[in-house]
Amino acid sequence: MHLSLTTIIAAATFIGEVAAHGYVPLLRINGKDISGWDITKDPYATPQPLRVVRGTKLDSGFISDVTSTDITCSIGNQKLPPGPIQATVAAGGTVQVLWNTWPLGHYGPVLNYMAKCPTSDCSTFKGDTGTPWFKIQQDAFVNGVWASDTLAKSNFTYNVHIPSKIAPGSYLLRHENLALHGASNLNGAQFYPVCIQLTVTGGGSLNPSGLGFPGAYKATDPGIHFNVYQSDAVNAAYVPPGGSVYPGLN
């Protein structure tokens, strides 16, 4: 009975998701609002608006192929801003990511990575070759709730804590919802990465790297090919893909 009910809920979630995934039209840093990428307006504006959030193709859809360069910064990773732009945040500070919406039941972790841009201008950096990325923060199944549902219940907001000991400079922040509601099927996981161009001030001398997007994820990773409809105990033991948070960041 319980299994069949969760199957029905999963099916209903799947049907309902065509219209409503989510995107990031707004950031907040130190109480200041910064425009993100508004899928309802920005793709249609001429000239292309200058945004600190990387633009995406004309939808808010997910990536399911972890070997695609879309896994780096969302669908159409080749689309770069028309000029330099970055939001400034202090090392040790917080970037609030305000999604327009996020559906309950898209169970999964929220994962956050950074990569140092090779020059001071991040707008020319795709980040899709080599291993420039490092993981800074992740939340999975905490106190019986998936991080995705916590985000949905928190005004669709997630707070990214910028490490205090990284070197100052220009960075891409890769913030990602990983939806596992269909992930018991191989290639059924849905990735929703969002890249944000930052100037980090202060900080220390740490220059971490080591992960590639694509590269860090495999379709068969236990944190990607995973059945969320088993038990709280199984979910609590869930290990996100991409490894541990880089040590010594704070």
Which residues contact Cu ion by CB under 5 A? Answer: 17, 21
Cβ at position 75, least distance to Cu ion in Å: 13
Please identify, using beta-carbon distances, which residue of 21 and 116 lies nearer to Cu ion.
Answer: 21
Cβ at position 185, least distance to Cu ion in Å: 15
- Output DSSP code: residue 6: H
Please identify, using beta-carbon distances, which residue of 93 and 105 lies nearer to Cu ion.
Answer: 105
Please identify, using beta-carbon distances, which residue of 171 and 191 lies nearer to Cu ion.
Answer: 191
- Output DSSP code: residue 178: E
Can you tell me the distance from the alpha carbon of 7 to that of 171, in angstroms, rounded to the nearest whole number?
Answer: 41
* Residues ≥6 apart with Cβ < 8 Å to 148: 102, 106, 107, 108, 109, 110, 177, 178, 179
Please identify, using beta-carbon distances, which residue of 1 and 19 lies nearer to Cu ion.
Answer: 19
Q: Strand order in 26-29's β-sheet?
A: 32-35, 26-29, 94-98, 157-161
Cβ at position 184, least distance to Cu ion in Å: 16
Please identify, using beta-carbon distances, which residue of 17 and 70 lies nearer to Cu ion.
Answer: 17
Cβ at position 178, least distance to Cu ion in Å: 11
Query: Which parts of 166-225 are beta strand (E)?
Result: 169-179, 190-201
Question: Distance between terminal CA atoms of the chain?
Answer: 47
Please identify, using beta-carbon distances, which residue of 17 and 128 lies nearer to Cu ion.
Answer: 17
Q: Which residue in the shown chain puts its C-beta closest to Cu ion?
A: 17
* Residues ≥6 apart with Cβ < 8 Å to 154: none
Please identify, using beta-carbon distances, which residue of 107 and 141 lies nearer to Cu ion.
Answer: 107
Which 3 state secondary structure label does DSSP give 12?
helix
Can you tell me the distance from the alpha carbon of 59 to that of 65, in angstroms, rounded to the nearest whole number?
Answer: 17
Cβ at position 117, least distance to Cu ion in Å: 30
Cβ at position 160, least distance to Cu ion in Å: 21
Element at 147 (helix H, strand E)? helix 147-152
